Structure 1
């Protein structure tokens, strides 16, 4: 048999066959005078055994010892069984996450513990509809923070989002976000002053007992992200709001 014939009979690709030769799990057979490999039935049987073991999940580097050493079957099967049990647990956990995301109507890349909160925030409550780009900005800022925070920080973030998504607060913060979204070069100083004052009143309704300031690196990342999506007036507004909040604390 040549390479194509044995591969077809064994139900593997010629590329797989060559890979088995390269890693040494299947010895290369003698070649004919024309240079083509000449496989025997013994080679076919060995190839079928290798295929069966790989289908069970045995790594290629474990197959050769398995084939050559008697009494190793129980050890190998125990190891495979433990690995499969661990995989089942991981898959079950993933399915649970998928179910939570579906129930919340959240995007697949949303942290599951924030799924319901982000979905509620995106709904806007009784407030005005927000521009899609502002919804995306809010969501991506939260995702960036969630990635950078430790376990306590993530819990504090979830606590803040829980407060923001309370119906009586959500409508107000959504209205403020809508006003922030339209800040631009034609916005008057009076409009900015009023938005700053209203934002301070909204922030005063929230509690930050568990919240800690983000580390400088995270702050730099947030600033860099804002520079890519916000205009000059919006960034100046946020800088002023943060500075005044820190001065009053």
Structure 2
């Protein structure tokens, strides 16, 4: 005598949910039997075998869109499909492993997006007392620089670290850290910061520590750095004005304000 199962019994025997069985019917993976006189579907042993094969392939990572083809494949075609799917899963595993490494790096903070030399420099700023907002501003600036000139970072960091031996630069970072925690365009510390920056610019300019020609022509990168400063603190616009009053076009590029020339003598 033929044993017939309800959809609930079929699902339970095969280890899936009734919802899954209905879904397999909907996408054509599992033939849907006719209803009996009472209006219920009745499933035989063939349906159980088919459902178990579908479940096994799905659990192995085979996409539902490919299971139907594999169920109908001969031995050679089935083996080829398994090899193809295995290769795809291997690629996915590699991608996930890389994602795990990146997620693990998140715990390291800045090292996720910055080279070790820059992270070391930011750590030194933290040691001299730079505030959290100041460190964030430095980090974001270095992200822009690293993206644009990744091969130059190792050249710049040693001189940046050496500059931290200058008490004026340490004082500048402390002033800027304090300013980032306050408001007010007329804060006298803005004047002091501009004085220090102008003095450091004069020293660098005299020493020939100017920006390389190919970098000085990169308007977009410097525009982004200037925009970043303004977005971090709108008083950066005031700082630009103060620097111009002292003979400098700004602080991201060491450039003197062009001299004003009068009309030619008659």
Normalising by structure 1, report the TM-score. 0.70
- The alignment status of 1:80 with 2:85, answered yes or no, reads yes
Aligned residue runs from structure 1 range 1-249, under 5 A: 1-33=5-37, 35-70=39-74, 71-94=76-99, 101=105, 106-107=108-109, 110-111=112-113, 114-124=114-124, 127-143=127-143, 149=147, 153-156=149-152, 158-159=153-154, 162-163=157-158, 166=161, 168-170=162-164, 175-183=171-179, 184-185=184-185, 186-187=187-188, 190-200=191-201, 201=203, 209=212, 212=215, 216=220, 225-232=228-235, 234-237=236-239, 240-242=249-251, 245-247=254-256
| Greater share of helix | 1
Which secondary structure state, in structure 2, belongs to the residue aligned with residue 154 of structure 1? Answer: coil
The answer to whether the Cα contact below 8 Å between 1:21 and 1:27 also exists between their aligned partners in 2 is: yes
1:74 deviation in Å? 1.9
The answer to whether the Cα contact below 8 Å between 1:30 and 1:38 also exists between their aligned partners in 2 is: yes
The answer to whether the Cα contact below 8 Å between 2:102 and 2:112 also exists between their aligned partners in 1 is: no
Return 189-198 or 171-180, whichever deviates more: 171-180
Normalising by structure 2, report the TM-score. 0.66
The answer to whether the Cα contact below 8 Å between 1:124 and 1:174 also exists between their aligned partners in 2 is: no
1:25 deviation in Å? 2.1
The answer to whether the Cα contact below 8 Å between 1:130 and 1:177 also exists between their aligned partners in 2 is: yes
The 1:38/1:244 distance shift into structure 2, 3 A limit, reads: same
Instruction: Quote the Cα distance in structure 1 between the aligned partners of 2:232 and 2:126.
Output: 26
Deviation sequence 1:82-114 (CA, Å, 0-9, x none): 223323433454455567x38xx6228822xx2
Gaps of 5+ in 1: none
Q: Which has the larger radius of gyration?
A: 2
1:29 deviation in Å? 3.0
Instruction: Quote the Cα distance in structure 1 between the aligned partners of 2:15 and 2:90.
Output: 28
1:198 deviation in Å? 4.5
Deviation sequence 1:145-197 (CA, Å, 0-9, x none): 65xx46xx3333x436644664x335656653332233353125641331322
With a CA cutoff of 8 Å and minimum separation of 6, indicate the structure with the bigger relative contact order: 1
Q: CA RMSD in A?
A: 4.0
Instruction: Quote the Cα distance in structure 1 between the aligned partners of 2:40 and 2:109.
Output: 54
Partner of residue 246, structure 2: none
The answer to whether the Cα contact below 8 Å between 1:66 and 1:73 also exists between their aligned partners in 2 is: yes
